[in-house]
Structure 1
Amino acid sequence: MTLFCLGIVVASLLSVFLPIVPPLFTLFILVPILLGAIWCRSNFIAGAILFISLWLIQTNHYYLTQKKLPLSDTTVVGTIIDSPKQYQDYSQIVLLLDEGIGKGYRVRLNWSQAPEQLAAGQRWQLPVRLKPIVGVANPAAINRESNAMLKRELLQGSVIQTTASNLLTAKMLSSQFMLRPYLIKQLGQATSELATAPLLKALTIGERHFNQQLWQGLQLSALAHLMAISGLHIGLIFIFSLWLSKPLFIIKNISARLMLKYSLALGCALLYAWLAGFAIPTIRASLALLIVVICKVQLRTFSYLQFWLLIVAGLLLFEPLFVISIGFWLSVLAVAIIFMLLWQQPKIVNGWRGKLLLFLRFHFYLTLMMTLFSIVFFNGGSLLALVSNIIFVPYTSMLAIPVLFVTLIAQLIQLPFSASLWQFTDWLFTPLLVWLDWCSQQNSWWAWPNINWLTVLLLGLALMMFWLTRHRLALLFTALVSAVISLTLWGTSIWQLHLIDVGQGLAVLLQKGQQGVLYDVGPRYNNYSATAAIVLPFLRQTGIRQLDYVVLSHNDSDHTGDWRLLQQQYPELRLITNIADINSAQPCADLNFNYLGAKVQLFTLFDSELHSKNDRSCLMFVDIDGWKILLTGDISARAERLLIAQQPNISADILLLAHHGSASSSDYGFLYHLAPLLALNSASLYNRHQHPSAIVRQRLSLLGIPLLNTATSGAISLDIKPENIRINAYRPQRLPYWQQKPYTNAETLLATR
C-alpha cells in the first residue's frame, strides 16, 4: 500500500512538468501497463499509471467540452448555484449548466441591467457571449485558469442585452428554494452591525469580502490561512463533535460505538463544509477526514508516513486536478511537518513549564518551515508570522472559533439569546481585528525574489536534518546554506524593469534594490482596482520598500487606476503628471534627473496639432549603463512623428509600444528610426480591441524587432547589466506547463551588446 500511494504522489508531481496533455487515446497504452503492473504486483508503477490515467481522462474531458461550446453568441440553460454578486453596473452569477454540451460544468456571467429578483436556485435560459477564462500572470499571483479547472468553470462571458432586432431573450424557466442562500442572508443580517463581521462571515459561510486594509493585514500577519475554511476548521468541528458525543453513547459493542460516534462527528463536519459552500479547501479537508474515519472504524494503525501518503494519494485519486492547486500542496506539506513534529515529541511531559516550552518549540519549527515554503511559493515571508501564529492560532482555535460555532448553531435554530451571543463573539474576535489592522500598517513582508527555490529547499532539508539528528554535520550544512542565501540577499543590486501584467492597462516598475519608480498604476473599472489587486502585491513581492516616484502618463482609467492608494502606502513618493485635477503633482515638463545612477528624462509633446489627451502623455526616457528605454504612454503616430522631428537623435534599445499596440500608433518610420532591440506591449488576452493590432505586428516583423506581450507572456522582467539584458517572461515558466498556450511571440531571449 505504501509503494502504491508513493507512486500516485510521484506521478502527480511529475505531471505538472509535462509540456502538453497527452491525447485521450494514450489510455490504450496506459491501461495494459496498469494491468501488467497489477499482475506483477508492482505497486509503485500501478499507482503512478492509475493517477496518470485518471488525470488524463479528467483534463481531456474538460478541454474537449470547453472547445465544443461556441465562443460566439449562443444560448445556455442552467441554474444559479450561489447568491449573485452585485456591483455598480452589473451583477455576476455562476450558472450550473444542466442542458447541452457543457452539462455538469459551470460558466461565470456578468449581467448588466439584471432583474432585481435575481437569486440562487433560479433556472434560466440566457443568450450569452462567451470567452475563455484567462487571468493575469504575475509572480505569486492567483492562477485563475487553474482555479477555473478546479471549480469546473468552463468559460466566462456576459448576458446579451435584448434589443428590437435581437430575437434571443433571457427567460426564467423555474425557481426553487435553496436553504444555504437563505441561511447566508440570515447570518448577514445578524452580523451586519458588528465590527468583526467580515471575519465572522469568512469563518461561517466562507465569504471573504475583505477591504484592502484587512486583506493586507491578513497577508502581512501570515494569518490568511486562518480565514480560509480548511482542515483546521473542519478538524475543530470534528474534534468538538467527538468530545460532545462521549456521554451519549453507552453501546458495549466497540465497532458499533466507534461507527456511531465517528459518523455523527463526520456528519457535523460535512454540514459545516456545506454551509461554507463546499469550497475546494473544505472538500479536501472533508475527504481527508473521511479517510481518517475509515481507518479508525476499521481499527487500522499506520505510521505517520504511511498515514500521510494514504491521505495525499486518496485526495489525488478522488480529484486528480488537486495537483495544480498550490493550496493543496501547502496543506499537505503543513500536515507532513505536523506529523514529523508529533513523531519527535516526547510521550510524557511533566510540569506546565515543560508543556509551554514544548508548545513554543512546536510552533517555532512549524512556522519556520512554513515560512521557507512561503519563500518558495510566494517569493518572501512575513516577519510577524511567528508572533501571529503563536498567539492567534491557539487563541482562535481554542476559544474564539468554538464560541463562534455555538453562536452559529444558536442562530440557525433561532434561539432567543443568539443576538447576545453574536455580541460576545464580536468581542472575542476584536483582538484579532485590532492585530490585523496594526499589521496592515507595518512593512513586515520581506521579499526574497532572487533566491533560487532549490537553495531554500536545501535549507529546509538542512534544518530538518539538524532537528532530527542534532548532528554537527547537519549544523554545518545549515550554516553553509544560510551563508549562500545571505550572500544572495546582500549581493549587489541590479537594475530591473518590470512590465506588470495588469490586463488591458499599463503599469511599469523601474527597480534597483528596494527602491523604485512606477510608470502608470494599472486600470480601475467600477469596483475593480488593479492597483490594489495586482500592483501593490507586485511591489511587495519584488521587495519595493521605498517607492520614490509615480508617473501618471495621462488621464485614462486604464493608466491612473487607484493612484491615491499608492500615496497611502508610500507617503514619501513624488507624483508626476499633467492631469489638471491632481493639485499635489509635479508637472511633467522636461524633467531631467539622476536616479540611483540612471539618467531619467520626463517630457510631454506640446504642439498646436496635438489635441487629444493621449498625445499629451508624459513620456519617460531612461538611460541605464548605456541601455536606453523609452516608455510612450498612449501617443499616436502623429505624436511619434513629432517626437522624431523635435529629437532627431533619440534612440531606444527597449521600446514600450504606445497605446497597447494600437494600429493608430507604432508608425513604421518611428520604429525604423528608433530601431529597438526589443518591443514590449501591455494588453490582455482576448481583449476586444485586438491589441496589439495585426499591422503593428507586421511592422515589427518586417524590421526584425522581437515583441513580448503581457497577454501571452504574463509579467515581463528585464535584468539590466552593463554587458547584457536578460529577459524573463513569467507565464511560460508557470506550473503546470501543460496549461500554458503555445506562444509564438513570447520567447525568453538574451540581448547582448
Structure 2
Amino acid sequence: MGLYALAFSSGVLILRFLPAVPPSWLLLLLGGGAIAFLLLRQQWVRWLAAAMLGLCWSGWHATTLLEQRLEINRDGQTLWLEGRIAGLPQWQSEAGWQVVRFELEEASSRRVTLPPRLRLSWRDPPPLRAGERWRLAVRLKQPDGLLNPHGFDYLQWLTARRIGATGTVKAGEWQADGNGVDAWRERLRERLLTMLPDNPAAGGVLALSLGDGSVLSRTQWQKLQDSGTVHLFVISGQHISLVAGLGYGLVVLLVRLGLWPMRVPWLPAACALALGGAFAYGALAGFAVPVQRALIMVTVVLLWRMSYRPLSSWKPWSLALAAVLVLDPLVMLQPGFWLSFAAVAVLLLVFAGRLGRWRWWQMLSRAQWAAAIGLLPLLLASGLPISWVGPVANAVAVPFVSFVVLPLVLLGMLLIGWPVLAVPVLQLAAYLLSALWHALDWLVQGWPAWQSAVPESWILLLTGLAVFLLLLPGALRPWWLALMLLTPLAWPPAGDAVPAGQARIWLLDVGQGQAIVIQTARHALLYDAGPSIAGMDAGETIVVPFLRGERIRHLNRLILSHADADHAGGATAVLRHVTVERLVSGEPGRHGELQAESCSNTGWEWDAVRFRQWQQEAAEDSNAASCVLWVEAADERFLVTGDLDVAGERALLGAWPELQADWLVAGHHGSRTSTAQFWLQHLQPHTVLISRGRHNSYGHPHPLVLARIEYNSMQLYDTAVDKAIRIQLGAHAPLWSMAQQQRFWR
C-alpha cells in the first residue's frame, strides 16, 4: 500500500517540473492506460499506473484552475461584484494609509463569470470583518507578479492558493454579517488585541493561537528568519502534533496511574481525544493550507496507531503524503509542503536507526541537528535563507514555545470568556515571548541568515547524497565521504563569467521603477535601485536577492539617475547588503544620509567595455537632472536616460552629436514627456525597452510613445509583460527574458 501511495505521489509531483500542463487528450489517454495497467499482475506495472493516475490528477486540477482565471479581456476593468470575506483580513499601514488585504470567496457578478477566489486590497477602507458579505466595485487584474532571477514568484504563490484574479477595491457596500469559523476567529482576534493593548508580543500570541502573523513586525519576522525559528510561529505540523500529543498523553498518563476505567479500551480513546484536540486547534487556526496538511498527517498516523501498528514505519508517511496531494495537488507549489514532509522523513530516518533508549535531551539535540542538516539541500534548491545559529536557537526555542508558551496561549484561549482569568495567563505568555525575542536578538547579533545563489544541479545532488550519509547511524556513517561530497558546496565553481569585451545587462522587473545591473569581466555597476513606495522596497526584495544570486558582493559604481523614490528608493537596502566603491547621483543633495557624488560628464573603460555618463547643465527639475549612462561593447551600444525629458534629449544630442544606440531604455517609463520622434530617428535603436509596473496609475507607456516605436519599426520589450530582461552586449545576440522561462502556472 505504501509503495502505491508513493508512486501516486511521484506522479502528482511530476507536474511541478513540467513547462506546461499536458493537454486534456493526453491526460485522458494516460488515465485510460493507467486503468488498463492496473488489471495486469506485474507489480512494477501497477506502480507505473499509480504514477500515471497521479499525473492525471494534478494535471486535471491545474487545467481547471488555469481555465478559471480572469479572462484577458476583463483585465484592468472595474466591475461590481459580491462575495464573502474568507480568512482574517490583513491590516497594514502604508505611507500613512490603512490598507487591508483579504481574499473573497463565492464571488459573483451579473456581467461576467468570475474565478471562485479573488485576492483584493482596499486603501483606507471602512471596518470589514471575516465572514462578512460585501458588494464591491473592484478593478480586476489577471494573476500576475514581478519575476526576476533568484526572486520570489508571486504568480506561483497565487496559483498554489488557487487565486484566479487580484484587484483593488474602489468602493463597497456591506451586505451581511459574518458567520461560521472565520467570523468566530475574527471576534477572538479582537478580544485578544483588547486584552493585550500595545503589547509588542501580541503578534506572537496571535500567531500561535489563530495563525495570524500579520501583527508581527518586519523586525520580528527578520529576527525569526535569522534564528531559523520562523516555523514556530506558523501553525503547521509541529503545533498540531503537539496538541494531539497532549491529548494522547493525557489518556496514557491516566492508564499508567491506574485511573482509566478498565472496560474502556484506552488506545481508541487516546487517538480520538488526540484527533479532536488537533481538529479543534485547526479550526482555531482557520484550517489554512499548512494546517490542513498537518491535520491529514496526524489523522493518518492516529488511524495507523489505532490498528496497533508501530509508528516507525514509513507507510504512515507515504499515505499522509498521498492524502495531502489527493486533497490539493497544487500544494506542491508551496515550499512549506516540501520542507514539512522532508523534515518528517529526516526524523524518521534518524530515529528509526537508534539503538537503546535515548534521554529527552539527546532526542531534542539530535532532532535539531538532523533537521538542520537534512533540510539543507531543499533550502538551497529553494533559495531560502539558512540560519547559522538555527540548531542552537531551536534547541532553546522549540521546547520553550512548545511546552511553556503554547500551553499558556491555549489555556488563555479556553478562558477567554472569563477575562479576569484569561488576561493574566495571556499577559504571562506575552511576557515570556518578549523574553524569547530578547534572547533571539542576542543570539543572532552579527549572524544574519545566509542566503546564496541556487547551486547547480550536480552540486545539489552531491549535497543531498552527503546529507543522506550524515543522517545514517553512527556505525554506518562515512564522515570522510560525506565531507568530500560537500566540498563543491563550500567552494562553489565560478559562475557564468562575462567574456572580456562584453557586458551582461539585466533590466530587472521592479514594477513602477527602474533597476539595471551591468557586469563586465571583473566589474559590476548598478544603475538605479528600484522603488521604495507604500511599504514595498524593491532594493530589499528584488535587487539584493538578485545581486546575491549572481554572486555580486561588490559594486564598483552605483548610479542613481535622480532622487525620486521609484529610482533611488531601494538604494539604502543595497548599500546595507553590498559594498559600493562609488555612489553617483544626478541629485546628490536629495539623498539624506547617503553621501553621493555628483554626476560629472566623464567616461571610463572596464575590461574593454566603454562607459560614459552625462548630465544636463542647469536642469530645471528632478527628471531633467537625470544622470545618463551609455555603454559600448564590441560596437554594440546601450543607452539609459532615467527620467530625462524631451528638452534633455535635445540637449544630449547637442552635447553628443555622434550618439548612437542599439538598445534604448525609454525615458520616464514610456511617458509622453520623453522618447521624442527626433530622438528615435537620430539614435535608430533596433530595440526599445520599457521599465514600468503593470496597471500603473500614470498610464505608462503612453500610446503616443508606442505609436512612435511602431512607426520606426523598432522592437519593443516591456518588463510588465516580458519580466526581467537580459542583454549580452557585444555578442550581437537576441535578448532573453524571464517570460521565456516556461512554467505551467505562468
Q: TM-score normalized by structure 1?
A: 0.83
Measured against aligned partners, the alpha-carbon deviations of 1:557-603 in whole angstroms (never above 9, x if no partner) come to 32233555556667988653344543554353316587986776543
Match of 1:50 in 2: 53
Q: Distance in 1 between matches of 2:523 and 2:408?
A: 45
Segment of structure 1 superposing worse, 663-672 or 149-158 = 663-672
Q: Distance in 2 between matches of 1:174 and 1:450?
A: 48
- Structure 1, unpaired ranges of 5+: 162-169, 741-753
**What amino acid maps onto 1:220 in structure 2?**
D
Q: Distance in 1 between matches of 2:645 and 2:296?
A: 57
In 2, are the aligned partners of 1:131 and 1:156 still within 8 Å (CA)?
Answer: yes
Q: Distance in 1 between matches of 2:521 and 2:221?
A: 26
In 2, are the aligned partners of 1:76 and 1:97 still within 8 Å (CA)?
Answer: no
- Pair 693,458 (structure 1): closer, same or farther in 2 beyond 3 Å: farther
Match of 1:156 in 2: 166
| SS of aligned partner of 1:488 | coil
- Pair 421,380 (structure 1): closer, same or farther in 2 beyond 3 Å: closer
Match of 2:62 in 1: 59
Question: Among 429, 432, 453, which residue is 2:433 paired with?
Answer: 429
Match of 2:354 in 1: 345
Segment of structure 1 superposing worse, 77-86 or 312-321 = 77-86
Match of 1:283 in 2: 292
- Pair 380,618 (structure 1): closer, same or farther in 2 beyond 3 Å: same
In 2, are the aligned partners of 1:446 and 1:543 still within 8 Å (CA)?
Answer: no
Match of 1:556 in 2: 564
Match of 2:38 in 1: 38
Match of 2:177 in 1: 175
Q: Distance in 2 between matches of 1:109 and 1:537?
A: 27
- Pair 28,668 (structure 1): closer, same or farther in 2 beyond 3 Å: same
> 1:317 and 2:326 equivalent?
yes
Match of 2:230 in 1: 224
Q: Distance in 2 between matches of 1:679 and 1:431?
A: 55
Measured against aligned partners, the alpha-carbon deviations of 1:492-528 in whole angstroms (never above 9, x if no partner) come to 9757644332212112345689996543332233344
Q: Distance in 1 between matches of 2:690 and 2:114?
A: 38
- Pair 8,688 (structure 1): closer, same or farther in 2 beyond 3 Å: farther
Question: Among 651, 654, 657, which residue is 1:645 paired with?
Answer: 654
In 2, are the aligned partners of 1:588 and 1:604 still within 8 Å (CA)?
Answer: no
Q: Distance in 2 between matches of 1:172 and 1:137?
A: 36
In 1, are the aligned partners of 2:249 and 2:270 still within 8 Å (CA)?
Answer: no
In 1, are the aligned partners of 2:103 and 2:117 still within 8 Å (CA)?
Answer: yes
Match of 1:11 in 2: 11
**What amino acid maps onto 2:32 in structure 1?**
P
| SS of aligned partner of 2:492 | helix
Match of 1:212 in 2: 218
Structure 2 counterparts to residues 437-516 of structure 1, below 5 A: 437-438=441-442, 442=446, 444-449=448-453, 451-465=455-469, 467-468=471-472, 477-488=481-492, 497-510=505-518
> 1:368 and 2:368 equivalent?
no
Measured after TM superposition, the shift of residue 206 of structure 1 is 1.9
**What amino acid maps onto 1:32 in structure 2?**
G
Measured after TM superposition, the shift of residue 714 of structure 1 is 3.2
Measured after TM superposition, the shift of residue 461 of structure 1 is 0.8
Measured against aligned partners, the alpha-carbon deviations of 1:283-314 in whole angstroms (never above 9, x if no partner) come to 11111112112222233457643332211111
What's the % identity of the aligned pairs? 26
- Pair 435,361 (structure 1): closer, same or farther in 2 beyond 3 Å: same
Q: Distance in 1 between matches of 2:342 and 2:31?
A: 31
Match of 1:191 in 2: 196
Match of 2:424 in 1: 420
Q: Distance in 1 between matches of 2:693 and 2:192?
A: 38
Measured against aligned partners, the alpha-carbon deviations of 1:533-556 in whole angstroms (never above 9, x if no partner) come to 444444555555556754332343
- Pair 16,698 (structure 1): closer, same or farther in 2 beyond 3 Å: farther
Measured after TM superposition, the shift of residue 319 of structure 1 is 0.7
- Pair 384,732 (structure 1): closer, same or farther in 2 beyond 3 Å: farther
Measured after TM superposition, the shift of residue 682 of structure 1 is 2.2
- Pair 535,593 (structure 1): closer, same or farther in 2 beyond 3 Å: same
- Pair 435,672 (structure 1): closer, same or farther in 2 beyond 3 Å: farther
| SS of aligned partner of 1:153 | coil
Q: TM-score normalized by structure 2?
A: 0.84
In 2, are the aligned partners of 1:588 and 1:603 still within 8 Å (CA)?
Answer: no
- Pair 224,84 (structure 1): closer, same or farther in 2 beyond 3 Å: closer
**What amino acid maps onto 1:120 in structure 2?**
A
Match of 1:107 in 2: 118
- Pair 602,739 (structure 1): closer, same or farther in 2 beyond 3 Å: same
**What amino acid maps onto 2:414 in structure 1?**
I
Structure 2 counterparts to residues 81-160 of structure 1, below 5 A: 81-86=86-91, 87=93, 88=97, 90-97=99-106, 99=108, 105-112=116-123, 114-115=125-126, 117-160=127-170
> 1:336 and 2:311 equivalent?
no
In 2, are the aligned partners of 1:21 and 1:60 still within 8 Å (CA)?
Answer: yes
**What amino acid maps onto 1:239 in structure 2?**
G
- Pair 369,717 (structure 1): closer, same or farther in 2 beyond 3 Å: farther
In 2, are the aligned partners of 1:132 and 1:155 still within 8 Å (CA)?
Answer: yes
| SS of aligned partner of 1:505 | coil
> 1:293 and 2:302 equivalent?
yes
- Pair 297,701 (structure 1): closer, same or farther in 2 beyond 3 Å: farther
| SS of aligned partner of 2:386 | strand
Q: How many residues align?
A: 720
In 2, are the aligned partners of 1:7 and 1:48 still within 8 Å (CA)?
Answer: yes
Measured after TM superposition, the shift of residue 268 of structure 1 is 1.8
Q: Distance in 1 between matches of 2:405 and 2:635?
A: 59
Q: Distance in 1 between matches of 2:53 and 2:677?
A: 56
> 1:586 and 2:588 equivalent?
no
Q: Distance in 2 between matches of 1:647 and 1:564?
A: 33
**What amino acid maps onto 2:617 in structure 1?**
F
Q: Distance in 2 between matches of 1:478 and 1:726?
A: 43
Q: Distance in 2 between matches of 1:513 and 1:361?
A: 45
